[in-house]
Copies of this chain bind each other. A is one copy, B any other.
């Protein structure tokens, strides 16, 4: 049995295209699922345009958290895609590292809804941050594992790419941790900083290009 298990592990998780496909599917779904957390106002009791306006203003914080989570998922999706631009081989372990990463992707709608419902609770920020931390950790281990096992295509700037991806993940997660810690002062401050960090990464201001 055990040698059979070992055999199986040798033939499993070889198809990179499947790993990419399920990742794109989970991300596409998680991103759209976020919207289900947005509560459409119930028509009962809303009579004038002004009533509806007030209701929409009230779901403002939810919209903010939704927006933040979208950017978060976008950043991690880009991160996953970057790695697979260079990964050209795979094994069972790498596939499962990618799957565990997706486990935490699929939890984002949950922690997002939790945060939007309890926007002033530190515990909600902590859960949200733990989710982001685990996303980053699995993506980092995924990269290091691919590297150690020589699954990266041989380009001239291999070493530089290796470090770039690693540093990006470590710096990002450090910034997220800092932002999360600010919840000791105010959860709104935490969320504001999280949004700033994520927007920074999403927009990737071009003046940086000139510096380097």
Whether the pair A32, B33 counts as a contact (CB closer than 8 A) is yes
**Interface residue count for A (Cβ, 8 Å)?**
89
Q: Which of B17, B86, B96 contacts A74 (CB 8 A)?
A: B96
Alpha-carbon distance A36/B12, docked complex (angstroms): 29
Whether the pair A6, B211 counts as a contact (CB closer than 8 A) is yes
Alpha-carbon distance A171/B77, docked complex (angstroms): 33
Whether the pair A209, B9 counts as a contact (CB closer than 8 A) is yes
User: A2, A36, A99, A203 — which one has the most chain B CB atoms within 10 A of its CB?
Assistant: A99
Whether the pair A212, B118 counts as a contact (CB closer than 8 A) is no
Within the complex, what minimum Cβ distance (angstroms) separates A161 from chain B? 6
CB contact under 8 A between A106 and B26, given known A11-B82, A171-B4: no
CB contact under 8 A between A28 and B31, given known A8-B164, A164-B4, A164-B11: no
Nearest B-chain residue to A106, judged by Cβ? B32
Nearest B-chain residue to A43, judged by Cβ? B117
15 A–B contacts, CB within 8 A, in A order? A5-B168, A7-B164, A13-B82, A14-B85, A22-B27, A22-B28, A28-B28, A31-B102, A31-B106, A35-B110, A36-B36, A43-B117, A49-B121, A49-B122, A81-B95
